[in-house]
Every structure is written in C-alpha cells, then in structure tokens.
A and B are shown apart, each in its own frame.
Chain A
Amino acid sequence: MSSHADITGLLVDWGNGDQAALDKLLPLVERELHRLAHSYMRREDRDHTLQTTALINETYLRLVDQKKVHWQNRAHFFGIAAQIMRRILLNYARDQNRLKRGGHAIHVSLSHANVMPAEKNRELISLNDALNRLEAIDERKSKVVELRYFGGLSVEEVAEVLKISPVTVMRDWQFAKAWLQRELQDGR
C-alpha cells in the first residue's frame, strides 16, 4: 500500500541521494497522476481549462506530507513527473504511429484517440531521439531539457534537482536548444 508517509519518506531519501528510492517512487507517482488526469479530463469536457502545472502540484500536495519535507523536495517531485511525462508521451506517440501503419495500439483508448495531432507524434519521437543523442554527449544538458520541457520546472527548480546554479541551468538550456534544433533540422 502506498501511504502518505511512504511517499514522503521515499522522496526525502531520493533527495538525499538514494537512487533506489526513485525506482519505488515512479510507479506510485504515475498512478496518482493517472488518476488525477482522468478526473480532469472529465471536468475538462465541460470547461476546457486544464491547469496542468497546477495539476502536478496538486498531485504533490495529495501525496506528500508537507510538514516533513523541505521545499526542495517539491522540485524533486516535479523531476519525477517529468520522467513520467516523457515516457507517457513517447509511448503514446509510438502507439499512434503504429496505429497509422495498421498495427494494434496497446495503450490507446479509442474514445480519446485524437488528443495529439500526427505531426506532434513525429516531432516528439524525433525530439526524444535527439535528446538521447545529447545525453550521450552531455547527460546534464539532456536532463535540463527533460525537466523543463517535460516537467515544466522553473530554472530554479531545475537548479535544485541537479544541484547546479541557475546560471548554469540557463546556459545549458540555451545550448541544448540550439543543439537540438540543429539535430532536428538535419533529421528532416
């Protein structure tokens, strides 16, 4: 069972450098995000507003005991969400592509099959590939992109997660964007 206390403890452990804690956290956070996203999709049918960064924050507030964590843990939590988002989006994009080619989509429920345009599918797949290549050259830069793009983290939050200065985050971000843009152009 995933209790409030477990998740809080795991988050603190991971913040203190325990990598094994991350493996346990990922599925717990994903389940909660999934549940929340579902109820929001239902609400969204009515009012068409989806405050998504707020949504991750809501997940955080629901799962983690605020009295027992530092503000830094929130950034770490968002870091986990970023990893989950990246994987979810990629799985989805690949599934959609497979579906286009006549295969079977495993993860897709057909009632909402069109949440992402086909162009975006291809874009995400190329971006992910480019990001993997960047990781091979400079892991930290690819992490900066993952956190900012897939997790919506601010420069300061990224700095906290990666234990680097905000200036470095900004420099990494600018360079990574140029590098990725060039990769994506070449790939066309």
Chain B
Amino acid sequence: MVDKSLEYIENIFHVAITLKAAERASYLAEACGDDVIARQEVESLVSAYEEGDGLLNENAVTLGMRVLGSVAEESITGKEIGSYKILGFLGKGGMGEVYLAEDPVLNRKVALKFLSAEFIEDSWAKRQLIKEAQAVAMLEHPNICAVYGFEEVDEYSFIVMQYVEGRTLAELIRTKGIPIDEVVPLAQQIVSAVAEAHAHGIIHRDIKPKNIMVTAGGQAKVLDFGLAKTIQKKATFDEPTESISQLSKAGLLVGTIAYMSPEQLRGERLDYRSDIFSLGTLLYEMISGKNPFARDSDAETISQVLTHSPPPLRASGRNISPELARVAHHCLEKNKEDRYSAASELLYDLDNSEVNNTKTA
C-alpha cells in the first residue's frame, strides 16, 4: 500500500520539478511548512531527478534480446523423451540436431535427430524431416545409417536412427589423412551406398566428408539424407532445386558449396549425376587431402566449381594409379553428360583391379 506520507511527498515533488530553482525554494518552504524531514526528502528527490536525467532513458529490451539470444537453449540432455533417455549431443547440421540416446526397451544406443529449436514449429522443416526418414527407410544397405522409426512426443518430432560410433571422413582427412591403400575400399563402400539410394530413386544432394562416418573397423556409413530428394523412378531428372539463396536462408549451405555440382550451384534440375560429381570431390579429397575447389570466399569457390578444372591428381604427389586418377576426374567433369551416368558404373570401375595398379604408365 502507498504510504500516506509518500503520497504527500509525491505531490510536492511533482510541483517542484516544474519550477525554477529560485521559485522552488519558496514553494517548498510554503508547502512543507515546518516539516523539515519532508522538505529534505523532496529536495533530495528533486536533485536526484535532475542528476538522473539519463537514467532508464534507453530501455533494456535490446540488451534483453541480445542476452536471450546468446543464452544456451535449454539442453535436452538428461531428459527422457518418450521412452528414450537422452545421453548427449552428437552434432548439428542444417535444420537438425542429433543426440545420442538410450532405448531402454531394446537396450541399445540410438541416435535421435530432432529439428533445431528455431524450426520446431516450422511445418516445412517438419515435412522435410519426415521425408528424410521415409527416404532412408526404403534403403537397406550396410553402408547407410539405418532408420528405425519416426516419433512424435510432446512438441518433439524426431527420427530414430542407428547410432554409428566412429569419426567422420572430414575429421579423418583433416587429422591424419587417408592412407592410400584405404582410399579405394572406402570409396567402394560409399559409392555402393549411393548406388543403393539411386536404385530407389533417391538423390542424396549433400554428399560431403562430414556426412560420412567411418567406424574403427573401417566401415563407412553414409549419414544425413536431410536434403535427399526422391524422384520418380521412371523420370531421369528432378524438378528444379531450391535456389542457393533459399538453401542458404535455411542455413543448409554452410561449407557444402565446394562439394556441389555445377548444375546444383546453378539451381538446375538435378539427376543422379549430380551425386556423381560430389562423389568425385570426395574421392579427390581422400586422395589429395584437399577439396579441389574450396577457396576462401564462396564467390571464388563457386567460380572454381563452375569453370575451373581441378589440378591433376597425379600431380598431388601421392602414389596412385593412373586409372584411379582417371576415375576421379571422370566424376568431376563440368558437363554431366561427360561423367559416369550412374553410381553403379563408377562402382564397376572402382572394382577394377587397375585402380590399384600403380605400376602402369
């Protein structure tokens, strides 16, 4: 409740702040009479009012939003979602976040892929997540991370996937490089996974080292069909793809340009041969340790992909067969008509013993 005397002080205060100093003194003398305490109170408030001119002038909303935006989102680690117990965070990419979880019924670890917080109520993003689950569910292949199911619990929608323990191809290339005799076996597994997807009418569209997991035993697993597109089996091409700006708005382009085909960068209709190009960049990078097109700026990278031939692999200083170099460069032709027309053809050439024959001239 408002103190009676506070109201009295307040009334005098409001008159006093409208007066000039000289008038104010006589006003206060009159208004407060011999109530010295009240007079001191008003005087100190009036002088604070004048000194504190700048106080609270700028509201704290901007600051609040800044802080709110920087504060870590509430982590789901440790929570139980449905029957799953979330054990930890595995990774983030595009619109999704992947967590390690335990399935207490089947007593195994699984990976759960959720939409990032900012996309949770985005119906387009959710449809993409469902599409991804459906696409991968069609595939059964030792080198494709298996999908167990799709669940919706409270506000969470997520894909339940096989948990693959290992390191990404990107990590392996960066840290120790791929021993030359492991390049072909890894490439065979990856290409065979992609061939399986193609056989089911699915273009991956985002093949890059970060999306390939390699287990300690050397088994490769293709992950993240988040951008995958199912095309009608009979048709040989896809509808026009999202433009670069659409993809980048959704945060899906980061770091992937250097693995995209020229036609993908141009936003054209894609067919399986776009994945062949991406597989070529992968093969090239496994051999040489470097992406053939990546430069400091996106603009330079795009120009490299569109118009520059990659430096010959045989000049990379690694002892590879002429056939392996030919296979990789064949994938990287700018013109899709000049590439392998199917992953199965590429696989056939990788299975040829000539790729391992470094002796031939």
Contact = CB atoms under 8 A, between A and B. Distances in A.
B56 A120 contact: no
Interface string B39-74: 000001110110110011001111111111111110
A35 B118 contact: yes
Given A37-B69, A40-B65, A41-B66, A151 B59 contact: yes
A19 to B, nearest CB: 19
Contacts of A55: 61, 65
Contact of B154 (A1, A39, A115): A1
Contacts of B60: 85-86, 89, 124, 149-150
B69 A40 contact: yes
Contact of A181 (B3, B51, B59, B62): B51
A70 B72 CA distance: 34
A138 interface: yes
B79 interface: no
Contacts of B44: 182
Nearest to A124: B60
B62 A52 contact: yes
- Is chain A's interface secondary structure helix, strand, loop, or mixed overall? helix
Nearest to B116: A38
A140 B59 CA distance: 18
A109 B72 contact: yes
Interface of A: 1-2, 33-35, 37-42, 44, 50, 52-53, 55-56, 81, 84-86, 88-89, 92, 107-109, 111-113, 115-116, 120, 124, 137-138, 140, 145, 148-152, 171, 174-175, 177-182, 184-185
Interface of B: 2-3, 6, 10, 13-14, 17, 44-46, 48-49, 51-52, 55-56, 59-73, 117-118, 120, 154-155, 251
Given A37-B69, A85-B61, A92-B71, 20 more contacts: A33-B65, A34-B71, A37-B68, A38-B69, A40-B69, A85-B68, A88-B67, A108-B70, A124-B60, A138-B6, A145-B56, A150-B60, A150-B61, A150-B64, A178-B45, A178-B49, A180-B52, A180-B56, A182-B45, A185-B51
